[in-house]
Amino acid sequence: MNQINTRPGISITDNRASVWVWAPEAEKVSLKLNSKSLDLQKAERGYWHLTSDEINTGDKYKFSIDGGDELPDPASLSQPDGVHGSSEVIDLRAFAWKDANWQNPGLENYIIYELHTGTFTSEGDFRGIEAKLDHLVSLGVTAIEIMPVAQFPGERNWGYDGVFPYAVQNSYGGARGLQTLVDACHAKGLAVVLDVVYNHLGPEGNYFNGYGPYFTEKYNTPWGNAINFDDAGCDAVRHYFIENVLMWFRDFHIDALRMDAVHAIKDFSPVHILAEIKSSVDSLMQETGQKHYLIVECDLNDTRYINPIKKAGYGMDSQWIDEFHHALRITAGGEQTGYYSDFSGIDHLAKAYNDAYVYDGQYSPHRDKNFGSKATENGGEQFIVFSQNHDQVGNRMLGERSSELFSFEMQKLMAGAVLTSPYLPMLFMGEEWAETNRFMYFVSHTDPELAEAVRKGRKEEFAAFHAQGEAPDPMSEETYENSKLQWNSLSNDKHKLMLNFYRELIALRKSLPPLSKLSRKETKAVADTATNTLTLTCKNGDKTAIVLMNFSLNIQTLYLPATSSSWTKQFDSADVKWNGPHAAPSSLITEAPVQLQPESFIIYINE
């Protein structure tokens, strides 16, 4: 058997079903379908197979291993009755795509908008997202990033408790709903990034141990035993996740995957699972002519993850860079506790602009060790920066957004800091109009003991913060409903103004080559710790953009560099048009002083 040709689960071709299941310790595997029992034939290396014309689209089924309990398919494409119900046979290839002319933009052109399907709209599903695509297009973002959609227990979850990596959450609209949304996004010119989780699986509805060694006791993770990527039987597990990656690209036309917390993937194989995924995706792209990207969340500051395979890397195209966020928050006046204690403020923000990693080999007090590697040769498109995201908001006890923690002027400045960086910018849903509803942690486990354990764990996690109030109940439907965006806020002048601010700033980033070309080697940040100001110089050809940032509460005087011509103002966050206190001159001669208003930034250009 050529293992690479096995597609886990059930696939339909010419009215015949091909069934593959990995159950290496089994003596008998049966498919329970419509009161019938169909026996699978044993194949090589623990696989079981069946080809049948008795299985049709829409049928519900389970498997029985050695006559035991009936279990859902670990590679189920649909769980219409939830994580404990039967799996459903569907044909992903039956969807009538209309995006034949779609071309995935170059990664350097991505301006990403992260959203959670359940809380992005009142509908809480893919149709709700589709209804808001014109808003996203007019905002100017070029890609949406959807938090995980793999089937999870109940109808309320961040998505990181998924237990059916191949099945799209039924309450969101299932596989057809996601395919329809991706098709609609492409018609509007938007790329789609999907968040996937390959470092763990959720606790409720997790039936993997009933089939085989999908997990290993070699390593412990925050979620229990690690997924088996390098222990006995790991070939089939690796194949399972590689096929999952290919499915999203091939059958859902997803443009990029964002892989959650890959630092928690334990793999000491000669070829790391990420590198094998990259090679498989390269083969798919060569076959289809379509371009796809692999993005990772990784907190190791290790360039192996983003270096090409030919340079002994894992070949990932880009990564989230939390350190830019941490340095920015401290610079803006955020609390210096926990992992934020490693960040001193504006000097570290300047280092993030210049070096990507703040910690690239020096001593980290929070970790009590030297940490990180230098990313000198990695391009700007290989780093994704943000002022907030689902983790940094939702992992706060109360889920406060920047709109609650920082002044209106500082929110504008933080947006400027992100959108003028030589990296890929990402916004978190609602940020563009200063959404005030919090984004809290929520789940809807149906197992009472597990639900209570989550409640207790959340309370214990924030036991030292009782002065701020009680942690919201993650199981409460109210917690979920109160985390939804308030689209009616856009009728409010203040929120409407912030939206227009973001639109104009994004448009400027796109139109100014010094900002859009992501040339790290022609970008230089210089911080003044005494005044809490930063000067960012970005060049492209004969054009130079200067971004002056003032994070202090006082007016500060900065000087424009000496050039052969004058400087022309392109954007001023303190302009009265943005409800600011005072606009700077629209044109200044070389080496002229600039009076920078508190918590503001100005962009000048010289040609």
Give residue 474's Cα distance to chain centre.
21
Tokens 């992100």, residue located: 418
One DSSP character per residue, 265-283 reads ----SSS-HHHHHHHHHHH
> From CA 292, how far away is CA 515, in angstroms rounded?
24
Please give the share of the chain, as a percent, with pLDDT higher than 70.
Answer: 99
The pLDDT score that the predictor gives to residue 467 is 58
Concerning whether 260 is annotated as a catalytic residue, the answer is yes
Q: Is 390 annotated as a binding residue?
A: yes
Task: Give burial (CB, 10 Å; 0-12/13-18/19+) of 68.
Answer: exposed
The pLDDT score that the predictor gives to residue 479 is 97
Concerning whether 297 is annotated as a catalytic residue, the answer is yes
DSSP tag of 464: G
The pLDDT score that the predictor gives to residue 589 is 85
What is the pLDDT confidence band of residue 194, given thresholds at 50, 70 and 90?
Answer: very high
> From CA 193, how far away is CA 54, in angstroms rounded?
37
Q: Is 366 annotated as a binding residue?
A: no
What is the pLDDT confidence band of residue 457, given thresholds at 50, 70 and 90?
Answer: confident
Please state, rounded to an integer, the average pLDDT across all residues of the chain: 95
What is the pLDDT confidence band of residue 5, given thresholds at 50, 70 and 90?
Answer: low
Q: Are 574 and 512 in contact (CB under 8 A)?
A: no
- Of the candidates 297, 342, 409, 432, the residue annotated as catalytic is 297
The pLDDT score that the predictor gives to residue 352 is 98
Q: Taking residues 188-196, what's their average pLDDT?
A: 98
CA dihedral 450, 453, 455, 460 (to 10 degrees): -160
What is the pLDDT confidence band of residue 562, given thresholds at 50, 70 and 90?
Answer: confident
Residues 6+ apart with CB under 8 A from 570: 508, 512, 545, 603, 604, 605
pTM exceeding 0.85: yes
Fold adopted by 3-92 = Immunoglobulin-like (2.60.40)
> From CA 435, how far away is CA 442, in angstroms rounded?
18
pLDDT tens readout for residues 359-418: 999 999 999 999 999 999 999 999 999 999 999 999 899 999 999 999 999 999 999 999
- The one-letter code for the residue type at 58 is G
Q: Is 329 annotated as a binding residue?
A: no
> From CA 391, how far away is CA 393, in angstroms rounded?
5
Domains 3-92 and 523-606 share a fold: yes
Q: Is 252 annotated as a binding residue?
A: no
Q: Is 380 annotated as a binding residue?
A: no
Q: Are 503 and 138 in contact (CB under 8 A)?
A: yes
Nearest CA to 150 among 128, 130, 178, 124?
A: 178
**Does pLDDT of 291 surpass 50?**
yes
Q: Is 526 annotated as a binding residue?
A: no
What is the pLDDT confidence band of residue 223, given thresholds at 50, 70 and 90?
Answer: confident
Q: What is the largest CA-CA distance in the chain?
A: 84
pLDDT tens readout for residues 272-282: 999 999 999 99
- Of the candidates 73, 125, 260, 431, the residue annotated as catalytic is 260
Tokens 């992005």, residue located: 120
Q: Is 392 annotated as a binding residue?
A: yes
Q: Is 261 annotated as a binding residue?
A: yes
Q: Are 548 and 561 in contact (CB under 8 A)?
A: no
Phi, psi (deg, nearest 5) at residue 75: -110, 30
Q: Taking residues 577-593, what's their average pLDDT?
A: 92
Q: Is 262 annotated as a binding residue?
A: yes
pLDDT tens readout for residues 147-170: 999 999 999 999 999 999 999 999
- Residues in a beta bridge with 143: 112, 191
Task: Give burial (CB, 10 Å; 0-12/13-18/19+) of 426.
Answer: buried
Residues 6+ apart with CB under 8 A from 368: none
The helix (run of H) or strand (run of E) holding residue 596 is strand 593-596
Q: Are 79 and 204 in contact (CB under 8 A)?
A: no
Q: Are 283 and 248 in contact (CB under 8 A)?
A: no
Q: Where are the domains of the chain?
A: 3-92, 523-606
Q: Is 299 annotated as a binding residue?
A: no
> From CA 170, how far away is CA 87, in angstroms rounded?
11
What is the pLDDT confidence band of residue 466, given thresholds at 50, 70 and 90?
Answer: low
The helix (run of H) or strand (run of E) holding residue 603 is strand 600-606
**Does pLDDT of 564 surpass 80?**
no
What is the pLDDT confidence band of residue 2, given thresholds at 50, 70 and 90?
Answer: very low
Q: Taking residues 341-368, what's their average pLDDT?
A: 96
One DSSP character per residue, 371-399 reads -----TTS-GGGEEE-S--HHHHHTSSS-
Q: Is 322 annotated as a binding residue?
A: yes
Q: Is 263 annotated as a binding residue?
A: yes
Q: Is 391 annotated as a binding residue?
A: yes
- The one-letter code for the residue type at 406 is F
- Residues in a beta bridge with 113: 144, 427
* Angle at 92 (CA atoms; ends 87, 96), nearest 5 degrees: 145
Looking at domain 523-606, its CATH architecture is: Sandwich (2.60)
> CA dist 296 to 60, 202, 589, Å?
35, 20, 44
pLDDT tens readout for residues 468-480: 778 899 999 999 9
> From CA 287, how far away is CA 297, in angstroms rounded?
28
Residues 6+ apart with CB under 8 A from 254: 182, 192, 193, 194, 248, 292
Q: Are 162 and 83 in contact (CB under 8 A)?
A: no
The pLDDT score that the predictor gives to residue 470 is 83
The pLDDT score that the predictor gives to residue 565 is 85
Joined tokens for residue 486: 């308030």
Joined tokens for residue 500: 């227009």
The pLDDT score that the predictor gives to residue 304 is 98
- The one-letter code for the residue type at 575 is D
The pLDDT score that the predictor gives to residue 462 is 82
Q: Is 445 annotated as a binding residue?
A: no
Task: Give burial (CB, 10 Å; 0-12/13-18/19+) of 530.
Answer: exposed
For residue 301, the tally of other CB atoms under 10 A from its CB is 23
Q: Is 324 annotated as a binding residue?
A: yes
- With H, G, I as helix, E, B as strand and everything else as coil, classify residue 5: helix
Lowest-confidence range among 160-169, 300-309, 368-377, 454-463?
A: 454-463
- The one-letter code for the residue type at 268 is F
Joined tokens for residue 496: 């409407």
**221 against 39, higher pLDDT:** 39
- Residues in a beta bridge with 220: 225
DSSP tag of 333: T
